Amino acid sequence: MGTEIKAIPKLDVIKEEEIPHILEPGEVGAILELIVSNKDGKVTEQRVLKSKSFVQQFLQLLFVKFAISPTVAPISIRDTGNTLRAVYDTTYTFDTAAGVTVVTYGIIIGTGVVAPTISDYAIGIIIPHATMNYSACTYGAPAADATTSQFTITRNFANVSGGPVTVNEIALYCRAYYTAAIGYFMLIRDVIAGGIAVPNGQTLTVNYRLQAIV
Protein backbone atom coordinates (compact mmCIF):
# COMPACT_ATOMS: atom_id res chain seq x y z
CA MET A 1 0.00 0.00 0.00
CA GLY A 2 2.85 2.39 0.75
CA THR A 3 3.97 2.46 -2.89
CA GLU A 4 0.61 3.97 -3.87
CA ILE A 5 1.07 7.05 -1.68
CA LYS A 6 2.80 9.89 -3.53
CA ALA A 7 2.95 12.44 -0.70
CA ILE A 8 6.29 13.81 0.49
CA PRO A 9 6.29 14.50 4.26
CA LYS A 10 7.19 18.19 4.15
CA LEU A 11 5.44 21.54 3.92
CA ASP A 12 6.05 23.44 0.68
CA VAL A 13 5.50 27.18 0.28
CA ILE A 14 3.97 27.86 -3.13
CA LYS A 15 2.77 30.88 -5.06
CA GLU A 16 -0.52 32.32 -3.82
CA GLU A 17 -2.07 32.30 -7.30
CA GLU A 18 -1.56 28.51 -7.53
CA ILE A 19 -4.05 27.81 -4.72
CA PRO A 20 -7.77 28.35 -5.44
CA HIS A 21 -9.16 30.58 -2.68
CA ILE A 22 -12.85 29.74 -2.32
CA LEU A 23 -13.03 29.31 1.46
CA GLU A 24 -13.37 32.28 3.80
CA PRO A 25 -10.76 33.31 6.41
CA GLY A 26 -11.11 31.16 9.51
CA GLU A 27 -12.65 28.23 7.63
CA VAL A 28 -11.40 24.65 7.51
CA GLY A 29 -12.90 22.79 4.59
CA ALA A 30 -12.23 21.36 1.16
CA ILE A 31 -12.07 22.38 -2.47
CA LEU A 32 -13.49 19.87 -4.97
CA GLU A 33 -11.85 19.91 -8.41
CA LEU A 34 -13.33 17.85 -11.26
CA ILE A 35 -11.37 17.36 -14.49
CA VAL A 36 -12.52 15.38 -17.55
CA SER A 37 -9.81 14.48 -20.06
CA ASN A 38 -9.66 12.41 -23.23
CA LYS A 39 -7.30 9.55 -24.03
CA ASP A 40 -4.66 12.05 -25.22
CA GLY A 41 -4.77 13.88 -21.90
CA LYS A 42 -6.54 16.95 -23.29
CA VAL A 43 -8.87 18.52 -20.73
CA THR A 44 -12.45 18.72 -22.05
CA GLU A 45 -14.09 20.05 -18.88
CA GLN A 46 -12.87 21.38 -15.54
CA ARG A 47 -14.74 22.65 -12.48
CA VAL A 48 -13.49 23.97 -9.14
CA LEU A 49 -16.14 23.98 -6.41
CA LYS A 50 -16.40 24.45 -2.68
CA SER A 51 -17.08 21.13 -0.95
CA LYS A 52 -20.12 21.78 1.22
CA SER A 53 -20.92 18.45 2.77
CA PHE A 54 -18.68 17.10 5.50
CA VAL A 55 -20.92 14.67 7.42
CA GLN A 56 -21.11 13.84 11.12
CA GLN A 57 -18.76 10.86 10.90
CA PHE A 58 -15.92 13.24 10.05
CA LEU A 59 -16.01 15.00 13.42
CA GLN A 60 -16.76 11.77 15.27
CA LEU A 61 -13.63 10.16 13.84
CA LEU A 62 -11.66 13.35 14.44
CA PHE A 63 -12.69 13.10 18.10
CA VAL A 64 -11.46 9.49 18.15
CA LYS A 65 -8.03 10.72 16.99
CA PHE A 66 -7.90 13.77 19.24
CA ALA A 67 -8.96 11.84 22.33
CA ILE A 68 -6.97 8.70 21.39
CA SER A 69 -10.15 6.77 22.19
CA PRO A 70 -9.11 3.40 23.68
CA THR A 71 -10.73 0.01 23.11
CA VAL A 72 -12.39 0.28 26.54
CA ALA A 73 -14.06 3.60 25.64
CA PRO A 74 -14.93 3.50 21.91
CA ILE A 75 -17.15 5.99 20.09
CA SER A 76 -20.34 4.81 18.37
CA ILE A 77 -20.13 5.77 14.67
CA ARG A 78 -22.38 4.73 11.77
CA ASP A 79 -20.56 2.91 8.96
CA THR A 80 -21.36 2.89 5.23
CA GLY A 81 -23.59 -0.15 5.75
CA ASN A 82 -25.82 1.82 8.18
CA THR A 83 -24.56 -0.06 11.24
CA LEU A 84 -23.32 1.63 14.40
CA ARG A 85 -19.76 0.53 15.21
CA ALA A 86 -17.75 0.96 18.41
CA VAL A 87 -14.71 2.74 16.97
CA TYR A 88 -11.40 3.21 18.77
CA ASP A 89 -8.15 4.85 17.73
CA THR A 90 -5.55 2.97 15.67
CA THR A 91 -3.14 3.86 12.88
CA TYR A 92 -5.96 3.07 10.39
CA THR A 93 -8.24 5.88 11.56
CA PHE A 94 -8.85 8.21 8.56
CA ASP A 95 -7.14 5.78 6.14
CA THR A 96 -8.22 6.81 2.62
CA ALA A 97 -5.33 5.19 0.69
CA ALA A 98 -7.46 2.85 -1.42
CA GLY A 99 -5.79 0.82 -4.15
CA VAL A 100 -6.83 0.09 -7.74
CA THR A 101 -10.39 -1.36 -8.08
CA VAL A 102 -11.21 -0.71 -4.40
CA VAL A 103 -14.66 0.84 -3.96
CA THR A 104 -15.05 0.47 -0.18
CA TYR A 105 -12.94 3.51 0.71
CA GLY A 106 -11.04 6.42 -0.81
CA ILE A 107 -12.80 8.80 -3.22
CA ILE A 108 -16.08 7.24 -4.43
CA ILE A 109 -18.40 8.38 -7.25
CA GLY A 110 -22.13 7.86 -7.79
CA THR A 111 -25.29 8.82 -9.65
CA GLY A 112 -27.54 9.79 -6.73
CA VAL A 113 -29.07 13.27 -6.75
CA VAL A 114 -30.58 13.53 -3.25
CA ALA A 115 -29.24 16.60 -1.44
CA PRO A 116 -26.67 15.85 1.27
CA THR A 117 -27.55 15.93 4.98
CA ILE A 118 -25.33 15.87 8.05
CA SER A 119 -26.53 12.34 8.86
CA ASP A 120 -25.64 10.79 5.48
CA TYR A 121 -23.57 7.64 5.98
CA ALA A 122 -23.10 6.38 2.38
CA ILE A 123 -23.21 7.51 -1.22
CA GLY A 124 -26.66 7.28 -2.83
CA ILE A 125 -25.98 5.06 -5.87
CA ILE A 126 -22.38 3.98 -6.36
CA ILE A 127 -20.86 3.73 -9.84
CA PRO A 128 -19.00 0.39 -9.91
CA HIS A 129 -15.44 -0.22 -11.02
CA ALA A 130 -16.71 -2.17 -14.06
CA THR A 131 -18.32 1.05 -15.34
CA MET A 132 -15.74 3.65 -14.28
CA ASN A 133 -12.37 2.03 -13.52
CA TYR A 134 -11.15 3.19 -10.08
CA SER A 135 -7.43 4.00 -9.88
CA ALA A 136 -5.47 4.08 -6.63
CA CYS A 137 -5.86 7.18 -4.46
CA THR A 138 -2.75 9.36 -4.53
CA TYR A 139 -1.71 12.35 -2.46
CA GLY A 140 -0.20 15.79 -2.97
CA ALA A 141 2.10 16.85 -0.14
CA PRO A 142 1.04 19.63 2.27
CA ALA A 143 1.56 23.07 0.72
CA ALA A 144 1.00 26.64 1.87
CA ASP A 145 0.90 30.25 0.74
CA ALA A 146 0.49 33.44 2.80
CA THR A 147 -3.00 32.53 4.03
CA THR A 148 -3.77 28.92 3.11
CA SER A 149 -2.48 25.46 3.99
CA GLN A 150 -3.67 22.43 2.07
CA PHE A 151 -3.08 18.88 0.87
CA THR A 152 -4.75 17.01 -1.98
CA ILE A 153 -6.33 13.56 -2.35
CA THR A 154 -6.66 12.46 -6.00
CA ARG A 155 -8.38 9.58 -7.78
CA ASN A 156 -8.93 8.88 -11.48
CA PHE A 157 -12.01 7.15 -12.93
CA ALA A 158 -11.80 5.86 -16.52
CA ASN A 159 -15.09 5.38 -18.36
CA VAL A 160 -15.03 1.88 -19.86
CA SER A 161 -18.83 1.46 -20.01
CA GLY A 162 -19.22 1.86 -23.76
CA GLY A 163 -21.34 4.99 -23.38
CA PRO A 164 -21.41 8.32 -21.52
CA VAL A 165 -21.67 8.33 -17.73
CA THR A 166 -22.95 11.25 -15.66
CA VAL A 167 -21.44 11.53 -12.20
CA ASN A 168 -23.76 13.35 -9.80
CA GLU A 169 -22.20 12.69 -6.43
CA ILE A 170 -18.68 12.46 -5.00
CA ALA A 171 -17.78 11.07 -1.59
CA LEU A 172 -14.72 10.42 0.54
CA TYR A 173 -14.72 7.21 2.60
CA CYS A 174 -12.10 6.11 5.12
CA ARG A 175 -11.18 2.98 7.08
CA ALA A 176 -11.16 2.75 10.86
CA TYR A 177 -11.08 -0.03 13.46
CA TYR A 178 -13.99 -1.20 15.58
CA THR A 179 -13.85 -4.17 17.97
CA ALA A 180 -10.83 -5.70 16.18
CA ALA A 181 -12.36 -5.37 12.68
CA ILE A 182 -11.91 -2.80 9.92
CA GLY A 183 -14.94 -0.65 9.11
CA TYR A 184 -15.68 1.90 6.39
CA PHE A 185 -17.04 5.37 7.12
CA MET A 186 -18.08 8.34 4.99
CA LEU A 187 -16.40 11.70 5.67
CA ILE A 188 -17.72 13.89 2.82
CA ARG A 189 -20.59 13.64 0.33
CA ASP A 190 -21.06 16.28 -2.36
CA VAL A 191 -23.81 16.41 -4.99
CA ILE A 192 -22.82 18.17 -8.22
CA ALA A 193 -25.44 20.50 -9.70
CA GLY A 194 -26.33 19.16 -13.14
CA GLY A 195 -23.76 16.37 -12.77
CA ILE A 196 -20.59 16.06 -14.79
CA ALA A 197 -20.69 14.01 -18.00
CA VAL A 198 -17.80 11.67 -18.79
CA PRO A 199 -17.83 10.39 -22.41
CA ASN A 200 -16.87 6.80 -23.08
CA GLY A 201 -13.09 6.38 -23.14
CA GLN A 202 -12.46 9.57 -21.16
CA THR A 203 -11.27 9.94 -17.57
CA LEU A 204 -12.65 11.87 -14.62
CA THR A 205 -10.02 13.11 -12.17
CA VAL A 206 -11.33 14.07 -8.73
CA ASN A 207 -9.21 16.21 -6.41
CA TYR A 208 -10.28 16.84 -2.85
CA ARG A 209 -8.10 19.66 -1.48
CA LEU A 210 -8.46 19.96 2.28
CA GLN A 211 -7.65 23.50 3.34
CA ALA A 212 -7.25 25.71 6.39
CA ILE A 213 -7.55 29.49 5.85
CA VAL A 214 -6.39 32.37 8.11
Taking only the tens place, the pLDDT of each residue in 163-193 is: 999 999 999 999 999 987 999 999 999 999 9
Percent of the chain predicted with pLDDT > 70: 90
Residue 93 belongs to domain spanning: 11-16+24-213
Domain count, the chain: 1
Q: Please report the pLDDT score of residue 19 as a whole number.
A: 61
Average of per-residue pLDDT across 127-152: 93
CB 129 within 8 A of CB 87: no
CB 147 within 8 A of CB 27: no
Give the pLDDT confidence of 52-108 residue by residue, as tens digits.
899 999 999 999 999 999 988 999 999 999 999 999 998 889 999 999 999 999 999
Residue 96: which of 214, 213, 210, 212 has the closest Cα? 210
Gap between the Cα atoms of 146 and 64, Å rounded: 31
For 83, half-sphere exposure in the C-beta direction (CA atoms, 13 angstrom radius) is 7
Please indicate, yes or no, if residue 132 is contained in any of the structural domains.
Answer: yes
Average of per-residue pLDDT across 196-214: 95
Please indicate, yes or no, if residue 5 is contained in any of the structural domains.
Answer: no
Gap between the Cα atoms of 17 and 20, Å rounded: 7
Residue 79 backbone class (left: φ over 0; alpha: ψ -120 to 50; beta: rest): beta
Please indicate, yes or no, if residue 2 is contained in any of the structural domains.
Answer: no
